[in-house]
Structure 1
Amino acid sequence: MGRRGRATVVVLGDFGRSPRMQYHALSLSSQLFFVLFDLITMIGAQPHRAVLEDPKISLYLMSVPSFQRLPRLFYLLALPFKILLQLLHLLWLLLVKVPSSDVVLVQNPPSVPVLAVVKWTCVIRKSSFVIDWHNFGYTLFGLRLNPSHILVKLYFWFEKRYGKMADGHLCVTKAMQHELAENWGIRATVVYDRSPEFFQPATLEEKHELFLRLDGLFRQPLGEWDCCSVRPEEDENVRLASRQYGDQYFYLKERPALIVSSTSWTPDEDFEILLEAAVMYDRRVAASLGEHIDSASGDRRPMKNSRCVFPRLLIVVTGKGPLRQEYEERISRLRLHHVAFRTMWLAAEDYPRLLGSADLGVSLHTSSSGLDLPMKVVDMFGCGLPVTAVSYSCIDELVKDHQNGLLFSSASELADQFMDLFQGFPDNCERLKHLRDGALASGSCARWDDEWEKQVLPLISRFLRHSFISRC
Structure 2
Amino acid sequence: MAGKRKEKMERGRRGRACVVVLGDIGRSPRMQYHALSLANQASLEVDIVAYGGSEPHTSLLANPSIHIYQMKQWPTARQGLPKILQPFMLLLKPLFQFFMLLWYLFVKIPSPDIFIVQNPPSVPTLVAVKWASWFRNSSFVIDWHNFGYTLLGLSLGRNSRFVSLYKWFEKHYGKMADASLCVTKAMQHELAQNWGINATVLYDQPPDFFHPTSLEERHKLFCRLNEHFYDPLGVRDCVSNGTSLLSSQIQNETLFTTEVGSNICLKPNRPALVVSSTSWTPDEDFGILLEAALMYDRRVAAILNEDDSLDEEVIWKEISDGKQCLYPRLLFVITGKGPEKAKYEAKIKTLKLKRVAFRTMWLSADDYPLLLGSADLGVCLHTSSSGLDLPMKVVDMFGCGLPVCAVSYSCIKELVSVDKNGLLFSSSSELADELLTLFKGFPDECDSLKVLKSGALDTGSSSRWVTEWEEHAKPLITEVISRS
Distance 1:75 1:267, change over 3 A: farther
Which residue in the other structure is 1:261 paired with?
A: 276
In structure 1, what is the equivalent of residue 30 of structure 2?
20
Contact 1:5–1:465 (8 Å) recurs in 2: no
Contact 2:16 2:45 in 1 (8 A): yes
| Contact map agreement 1:102 1:465 (CA 8 A) in 2 | no
What is the distance in 2 between the residues matched to 1:286 and 1:51? 48
> Which of 244, 251, 255 is matched with 1:240 structurally?
255
CA distance in 1, matches of 2:340, 2:76: 14
SS at match of 1:355: helix
Contact 2:179/2:476 (<8 A) preserved: yes
Q: How does 1:53-68 map to 2 (within 5 A)?
A: 53-65=62-74
Residues 66-465 of structure 1: matches in 2 within 5 Å?
A: 77-230=88-241, 236-237=247-248, 239-294=254-309, 308-465=325-482
What is the match of residue 6 of structure 1? 16
Instruction: Return the offset for 1:251.
Output: 1.2
Shift of 1:431: 0.5
Identity fraction in percent = 59
For normalisation by structure 2, the TM-score amounts to 0.91
Q: Corresponding residue for 2:50?
A: 41
- Classify the secondary structure of the residue corresponding to 1:202: coil
* Residues 203/68 of structure 1: CA separation in 2 closer, same or farther (3 Å cut): farther
Is 1:30 the counterpart of 2:28? The answer is no
**Paired AA for residue 134 in structure 1:** H
- C-alpha separation between the residues in 1 aligned to 2:73 and 2:134? 25
Deviation at 1:43, TM superposition (A): 2.2
Unaligned runs of 5+ in 1: 468-472
Structure 2, gaps ≥5 residues long:
1-10
- What amino acid is aligned across from residue 369 of structure 2 in structure 1? P
Alpha-carbon distance in structure 1 between the residues aligned to 2:409 and 2:75: 29
Taking structure 1 as reference, are residues 168 and 320 closer, same or farther at Cα in structure 2, changes over 3 Å only?
same
- Conservation of the 8 A alpha-carbon contact between 2:229 and 2:240: yes
Quick one: distance in 2 between partners of 1:233 and 1:374?
A: 37
Deviations 1:101-124 (A, max 9, x none): 110000000000110111112112
Range with bigger deviation, 227-236 or 53-62: 227-236
Deviation at 1:79, TM superposition (A): 2.6
Find the aligned partners of 1:15 and 1:141 in 2 and give their Cα distance. Answer: 21
- Deviation digits for residues 320-374 of structure 1 (CA, Å, limit 9, x no counterpart): 0001111111111112110000000000000010000000000000000000000
Cα deviation for residue 77 of structure 1 reads 4.5
Does the aligned pair in 1 maintain the 2:74–2:97 contact within 8 Å? Answer: no
Kindly state the Cα deviation for residue 405 of structure 1 after the two structures are TM-superposed. 0.3
Q: 1:66 to 1:244 in 2, by over 3 A?
A: same
- Cα distance in structure 2, aligned partners of 1:290 and 1:99: 70
Give the direction of change, closer, same or farther, for the CA distance of 1:112–1:73 in structure 2 (3 Å limit): farther
Where does residue 7 of structure 2 map in the other structure? none
Distance 2:420 2:243 in 1: 44
CA-based RMSD of the aligned residues comes to 2.5
TM-score (norm 1): 0.93
Cα distance in 1 between the residues matched to 2:244 and 2:13 = 69
1:456 alignment partner, SS class: helix
Structure 2 letter corresponding to 1:425:
F
Q: Count residues in correspondence.
A: 464
Query: Could you report, residue by residue, the CA deviation over 1:143-176 in whole angstroms, capped at 9, with x for unpaired residues?
Result: 1211111111110000000000000000000000
**Distance of 1:56 and 1:75 partners within structure 2:** 42
